[in-house]
Amino acid sequence: MKEIKLDELFAEARKAADSAYAKYSKFRVGAALLADDGTVFTGCNVENRSYGLTICAERTAVVKAVSSGFRSFAALAISTPDSETPVGPCGACRQVLSEFMSPESPVIFGGSGSKKVKTTIGDLYPFDSLHNLGGD
């Protein structure tokens, strides 16, 4: 696999945010998920007037990738252009991401400002029972 370029992946996430359906919150989110073979899957948040039925950008990208036959991912980028400060993934997304990514997998997220956070799945979701207990 080619070298992971998180800034390029972040640019893909930023483009994906343009497709968000954020009619209620006015808070667009885009995600770009890099598969182990170099394929990039993007996703955006899709809201519903029943907030519980809203799907996050990160899970949209995972569902697109898994439904295309992919099961392992190398990196993730998240863009929240309607926030000046970086906003990380919600708890549900962290749980789903940890199912398909190793704790060492890099993650980058940022808002409309210049500050970006670079971290890992393991730092976002510490004490993950799947990985810490040796699950498959």
Could you state, in order of their start, the residue ranges of all structural domains in the chain?
6-132
Residue 105 amino acid letter? S
- Helical pair 57-67 and 91-100, crossing angle rounded to 10 deg: 30
Residue 136 DSSP class? -
End-to-end CA distance of the chain: 23
Q: What is the pLDDT of residues 51-88, one digit of tens each?
A: 889 999 999 999 999 999 999 999 999 999 999 999 99
Q: How confident is the model at residue 3 (pLDDT cuts 50, 70, 90)?
A: low
pLDDT of 133 above 70: no
Q: Count H helices, E strands: the chain?
A: 5, 5
To the query of whether residue 58 is one of the catalytic residues in this protein, the response is: yes
d(CA 31, CA 59): 9
Checking DSSP bridges between strand 106-110 and strand 116-120, what pairing results, if any?
A: antiparallel
CATH of the domain spanning 6-132 = 3.40.140.10
Phi, psi of 106 (to 5 degrees): -75, 150
Asked if 59 and 88 count as a contact pair (C-beta separation under 8 A), the reply is: no
pLDDT of 1 above 50: no
Catalytic pick from 8, 58, 84, 99? 58
Q: What percent of the chain has pLDDT over 70?
A: 93
d(CA 80, CA 30): 7
Q: How confident is the model at residue 7 (pLDDT cuts 50, 70, 90)?
A: very high
Q: How confident is the model at residue 128 (pLDDT cuts 50, 70, 90)?
A: confident
Residues β-bridged to residue 42: 32
* CA distances from residue 29 to 14, 49, 52 in whole angstroms, order as listed: 8, 17, 17
Look at phi and psi of residue 105 and say left if phi exceeds 0, alpha if psi is from -120 to 50, else beta: beta
